[in-house]
Structure 1
Amino acid sequence: MKVLITDEISPEGLQPLLDDPRVQLDVRLNLPVAELHQIIGGYDALITRSGTRVDAALLEHSGNLRIVARAGVGIDNVDVPAASKKGIIVVNAPFGNVNSAAEHTMAILLSLCRNVTVANASLKSGEWKRAPFTGYELKGKTVGIIGLGKVGGRVALRCRAFEANVLACDPYISEKRAEDHGVKLVSLDDIVRYADIITVHTPLNEETTGMIRSEHFAAMKDGVIVVNCARGGIIEEAAILEALESGKAVGAAFDVWSEEPPATEVLRKLIAHPRMVVTPHLGANTFEAQKNVAVDVSREIINYLDGRPIENAVNIPRFDPDLMEHMKPFMGLVSKIGEFVAQLAPPNPNKVVFTYNGKIARFDCAPLTVCGLASLLNRQTDQEVNMVNARLVAETMGITVEEVRNTESESFSSLVTVCIETPEGSRSIAGTLFEGIPKVVKMRDFQTDFTPEPHMLVISYDDKPGLIGKIGTILGEAKVNIGNMTLGRRAKAGEAMVVLSIDSPADDATLEKVAKAVDARFLKAVHMRE
């Protein structure tokens, strides 16, 4: 695998890639856009920070590119929809710089409250002044945190350690999680109305861009303090500048900007304002954080190379991290049965239904559905399909995808069924796990019991004495050894289905002999990826 690095990345954090003989690592910093476009198609993976724009224009030249790894939390420099259309996985490192960002938030907040930056400059210039630098304590203040995720939660913990009262606004967390952090969950309007200090910790997206605007500042307390150590543009910079100039805000501390490096007149005025503490996007700039995020994305690339689930892909449905180890075997199961049934179904599918019964149905099964769909569609189209673009490919092909969950299951603790519907009929297959091993336990209404193997035969015929022997004889004459056999039937002398695992593929002539010998209703060779 060829991996291109276009921004400064911690060498220590890249060690997992450096240690893997399958990986060729090229470091090319500060590449002109035209040159990057020219060479990107020769690489399988790209590792960036915030200095490289991975936009639609770049992705048009992506060629072999399969994964973009952003060594940090924010992905606003990556066009995720454009990457998804091309089946390119986008991963980030959402946890590696969490502590660094939380500590930097507290650093610039405390520097502002205690006038550290201006007092430092005054003393270094030879002055000895104290009264102009009288500050504010956090104790007893009401801190409003917008976004109680990994960083916001840590900021809440630290503010409480300073004996501040903490309010939080986050529509995506439960009241219990807020209680666990010792904070009160309120609306954005309440944060604006009651907080002495407001700090934002959300991603930058359509929902959060311009979240704090002029009308919000008008409703804030006089003398409010505002902190942005998350992403530039969440707080409208013209609005905070107006609030500082009017005295509505007594001060502000920003680490991030809507334009980096800042160049507009508004940003120049904001940065130069005497009641602003500013830093050039240093939230993740600790030696520890840089190593951590590099390690995280390096491991994700190794996971991709090994075919293991990727935990921090932003354009793939994913499980709660606490569930990942439990759900990994089911991803293997649904992938195998999706690949298996795709080879049995007639062409031109119009609908695929994924059904989850039993304990598995208690969880969000969307990642399983996408995993199984990708495996299935890879047998239905020449286009490479993965978990990133599976639903887009299905939509393009006119295939409806449905997911059904039912916590009841008659025979198994958990059962996964995939059914493909086509104009010529349908095919279904159901599987479960036995001690972590995928087993197919039902095909149509036939009970079965086998593990999918690289080479298999599926045959249905009217059950008569001696037919199994004929199958074995014909395969034996063709030097094809039978490894395992499972037989399902509805009734004596009724339709039977036999599934054989064979050590090597059987040629077409041999399959024709078998079909003729048993008067097969259906015969299909199945080849599973090893």
Structure 2
Amino acid sequence: MAPKVLVSDKLSETAVQIFRDRGIDVTFDPTLGKDKDKLLSVIGEYDGLAIRSATKVTEKLLEAAPNLKVVGRAGIGTDNVDKEAASRRGVIVMNTPYGNMITTAEHAIALMFAVARQIPEANASTHAGKWEKSRFMGVELTGKTLGVIGAGNIGGIVCQKAVGLGMKVAAYDPFLSEERATKLGVEKVELDALLARADVITLHVPLTDQTRNILSAENLARTKKGVRIVNCARGGLVDEAALAEALKSGHVAGAAFDVFAEEPATASPLFGLPNVVVTPHLGAATTEAQENVALQVAEQMSDYLLTGAVTNALNMPSVTAEEAKLMGPWVKVAEHLGAFVGQMTDEPLKSIEIVYNGSVAAMNLEALNCSAIAGVMKATNPDVNMVSAPVVARERGVEISTTRQDKSGVFDGYIKLVVKTAQRERSVAGTVFSDGKPRFIQIKGINIDAEVGAHMLYTTNHDEPGIIGTLGQTLGENGVNIANFTLGRSDRGRDAIALLYLDEQPAVTVLDKLRTTGLFKNVAPLRFNV
């Protein structure tokens, strides 16, 4: 059955056609996002939801969407999506951060020129029949210092364009490497140095607790007198009231804003001030950018729904189509290992350690981690998936750690899972054989070679004769067929284990018969999603 996608905002017909061409059952209703009640009544039918900014993906909407697997935002901003609620419900949230990079960078440069030469006011004055050449004295940008706060995707393009304009560029970005700075042709500086030296400051960072009001009243006071401020990134990065006061005092010579703390912005301390250029969040508003992000979100959502490839997800590691194909068996191994220890553990978890050895250590470990954690958590919460599992683990205070190791032992690669509670520690390891099938290769430090089946039985005992006979006879007498039987022991006369692959799950009465023999320390039925 083809996946179903709802497009509830305005996307191009070309983007909608991509869904159709990929075999997706798509409903295109570009006004539906503005009708909350109607959207709520139909969302339960769909596997995917493609949106722009009009549709609000709230916790209430997500609760009404039991089949929803992915929300795709055509654009970079996802303020209209409750990402925490989506993660808890296992819904991937994607955006398209690269489709409007050039457009947004160009808008920042355009606003920088506009405020440097007072173009909007000069335009209005000339339209009014005035000829006020002396009133609109501007400044050249060539040779001036541009301070760029945030030199990521968009900020990096702004840096390159500014260098091309003959500007000196100083960039503040904790994640900017010296090599990247050299490649961009900019000087990497601390924020205080940028504030003191920049003739123009432009912001290109997301709004986080660390960046909120990064240009506060205090930081604005540290800027060079006559500075000009440009913000095409996010409202809330600049204290608008403090900036208005700095403009009135003359400390700041001009400002150009495309984004505001409250949007739609019908009022702002900046409105009406001289040499302040404002636009209504037009950074991505070009024909090319709108088409690009629409096409990208259609391709990304189709890839995920059809192949499992994850691109530009905000709450899930990215996995390419090639990775998804290569990692598929290892994802299952990680899930099976998690399912094993999850079903064996009935105490609150303290920590989960995932060890990757050999070839698997070079793969996308974030995705494998999610699969392993999901396997563990499903034992007590069947609705958990790779997206929601890390959130559930975090909410329960479970510590997650990952270790990479070089190849050791006879296997080219393997995964080992170690789960700790307050009372005990459990470990299990698995690998992928050349036939592509997952195998359990170690339990409690005891080596085995067991194929994974939907129905399995795990027993532990003191190593002594008669165990195989008891298991075989008891199961056989009760009509339970054994597909595969694997034994292992730590040493002669010490701890021993058995892992049986069965055709069906044994009845509780059969398990009780095994327990009453007195031969077994533990008799545990296991189920796996194979």
TM-score normalised by L of structure 1: 0.82
CA distance in 2, matches of 1:492, 1:134: 93
Deviates more, 1:351-360 or 1:157-166: 351-360
CA distance in 1, matches of 2:528, 2:212: 47
CA distance in 2, matches of 1:468, 1:175: 68
Q: 1:103 to 1:88 in 2, by over 3 A?
A: same
Amino acid at match of 2:295: V
What is the CA distance between 1:180 and its match in structure 2? 3.0
Deviates more, 1:149-158 or 1:218-227: 218-227
Residue 158 of structure 1 corresponds to which residue in structure 2? 161
1:259 aligns with 2:258: no
Amino acid at match of 1:10: S
Cα shift readout 1:393-437 (whole Å, capped 9, x = no counterpart): 3466x5633425364664256543223446885542112455676
Deviates more, 1:95-104 or 1:365-374: 365-374
What is the CA distance between 1:27 and its match in structure 2? 1.9
CA distance in 2, matches of 1:322, 1:241: 50
Q: 1:399 to 1:188 in 2, by over 3 A?
A: closer
CA distance in 2, matches of 1:389, 1:472: 43
8 Å CA contact retained: 1:54, 1:79: yes
Q: 5+ unaligned residues in a row in structure 1: which ranges?
A: none
Residue 388 of structure 2 corresponds to which residue in structure 1? 389
8 Å CA contact retained: 2:5, 2:24: no
Cα shift readout 1:53-106 (whole Å, capped 9, x = no counterpart): 334555565555443332221222333334334444332222222222122222
Aligned length: 521
Amino acid at match of 1:266: P
CA distance in 1, matches of 2:261, 2:520: 68
Q: How does 1:103-252 map to 2 (within 5 A)?
A: 103-118=106-121, 135-252=138-255
Coordinate RMSD, CA, aligned: 4.1
Residue 283 of structure 1 corresponds to which residue in structure 2? 283
Deviates more, 1:355-364 or 1:195-204: 355-364
Q: How does 1:397-412 map to 2 (within 5 A)?
A: 400-403=398-401, 405=403, 407=405, 410-411=408-409
Q: 1:364 to 1:195 in 2, by over 3 A?
A: farther
Residue 8 of structure 1 corresponds to which residue in structure 2? 10
Residue 100 of structure 2 corresponds to which residue in structure 1? 97
Residue 73 of structure 1 corresponds to which residue in structure 2? 76
Deviates more, 1:427-436 or 1:354-363: 354-363
TM-score normalised by L of structure 2: 0.82
Q: How does 1:218-367 map to 2 (within 5 A)?
A: 218-264=221-267, 266-269=269-272, 273-306=273-306, 308=308, 310-316=310-316, 318=317, 330-343=330-343, 345-358=344-357
8 Å CA contact retained: 1:148, 1:173: yes
CA distance in 1, matches of 2:41, 2:122: 50
Q: 1:18 to 1:240 in 2, by over 3 A?
A: farther
Amino acid at match of 1:226: I
8 Å CA contact retained: 2:482, 2:500: no
Q: How does 1:432-471 map to 2 (within 5 A)?
A: 432-433=431-432, 438-460=438-460, 462=463, 464=465, 467=468, 471=472
CA distance in 1, matches of 2:527, 2:300: 29
Deviates more, 1:189-198 or 1:5-14: 5-14
CA distance in 1, matches of 2:321, 2:241: 42
Q: 1:251 to 1:472 in 2, by over 3 A?
A: farther
8 Å CA contact retained: 1:13, 1:290: no
What is the CA distance between 1:307 and its match in structure 2? 7.0
Amino acid at match of 2:203: V
SS of the residue aligned with 2:269? helix
1:416 aligns with 2:415: yes
Deviates more, 1:226-235 or 1:211-220: 211-220
CA distance in 1, matches of 2:100, 2:21: 23
Amino acid at match of 1:429: V
Cα shift readout 1:218-240 (whole Å, capped 9, x = no counterpart): 32223222111111221222233
CA distance in 2, matches of 1:320, 1:211: 33
8 Å CA contact retained: 2:6, 2:27: yes
What is the CA distance between 1:26 and its match in structure 2? 4.4
CA distance in 2, matches of 1:434, 1:114: 68
What is the CA distance between 1:314 and its match in structure 2? 2.0
What is the CA distance between 1:367 and its match in structure 2? 5.0
What is the CA distance between 1:44 and its match in structure 2? 4.1
8 Å CA contact retained: 1:97, 1:284: yes
Cα shift readout 1:29-72 (whole Å, capped 9, x = no counterpart): 25244444455455443332223333455556555544333222
SS of the residue aligned with 2:335? helix
8 Å CA contact retained: 2:44, 2:64: yes
8 Å CA contact retained: 1:262, 1:268: no
Q: 1:330 to 1:509 in 2, by over 3 A?
A: closer
Amino acid at match of 1:93: T
Amino acid at match of 2:163: R
Q: 1:11 to 1:243 in 2, by over 3 A?
A: farther
Cα shift readout 1:105-154 (whole Å, capped 9, x = no counterpart): 22322344345545555666677776655544332111111011111111
8 Å CA contact retained: 1:113, 1:136: yes
Residue 430 of structure 1 corresponds to which residue in structure 2? 429
8 Å CA contact retained: 1:100, 1:285: yes
Q: 1:136 to 1:438 in 2, by over 3 A?
A: farther
8 Å CA contact retained: 1:427, 1:444: yes
8 Å CA contact retained: 2:5, 2:47: yes
SS of the residue aligned with 1:266? coil
Deviates more, 1:238-247 or 1:33-42: 33-42
Q: 1:10 to 1:355 in 2, by over 3 A?
A: same
Q: 1:497 to 1:135 in 2, by over 3 A?
A: same
What is the CA distance between 1:198 and its match in structure 2? 0.6
Amino acid at match of 1:418: L
Amino acid at match of 1:163: G
SS of the residue aligned with 1:488? strand
SS of the residue aligned with 2:171? strand
